[in-house]
Amino acid sequence: MNALKNRVQLIGHLGMDPEVKAIENGNKLARLRLATNETYQNAKGEKVTETQWHTVVAWGKTAEIAEKLLTKGAELVIEGKLVSRSYTDKDGQKRYVTEVVANELLLLSKKS
């Protein structure tokens, strides 16, 4: 049951091509922006679609796969865990970020 404590699965479309960086030790880091949509009917019976944007980070082999296969508009499944962290920006302000650290990617379709 330990594997189920912090697990996220998202299905959505990439909002941009992956940003891939090589880190000092030769490891790769890929940053993705994933849009997920939820559609429902409001009280007036109108169809409403809400889009949520998620920041996804992939490391190592997963980042290499993202770099080779993923492009803006691609539909994919991402499985990973939620990670929260903080940092100090260039203006000295403390910022808080929650990201999905991906351990698996499944490409459902490429952008047509």
CATH of the domain at 6: 2.40.50.140
Which pLDDT does position 2 carry in this prediction?
Answer: 66
* Distance separating alpha carbons of residues 100 and 47, to the nearest angstrom: 29
Which pLDDT does position 109 carry in this prediction?
Answer: 83
Which pLDDT does position 67 carry in this prediction?
Answer: 95
Number of folded domains that form the chain: 1
Token representation of residue 19: 């940003």
Which pLDDT does position 62 carry in this prediction?
Answer: 95
Query: Which of 29, 24, 34 lies closest to 63 in space, CA to CA?
Result: 29
* Distance separating alpha carbons of residues 91 and 112, to the nearest angstrom: 42
59-91 as b/e, with b when 16 or more CB fall inside 10 Å?
Answer: eeebbebbeeebeeebebebebeeeeeeeeeee
Domain span at residue 84 reads 2-39+48-109
* Distance separating alpha carbons of residues 76 and 17, to the nearest angstrom: 13
Per-residue confidence in pLDDT tens, the chain, 112 aa: 666 789 999 999 999 999 999 998 889 999 999 999 999 999 999 999 999 999 999 999 999 999 999 999 999 999 999 999 999 999 999 999 999 999 999 999 865 5
Instruction: Return the bridge partners of 94, or none.
Output: 88
C-alpha torsion sign, points 5, 75, 21, 94: negative
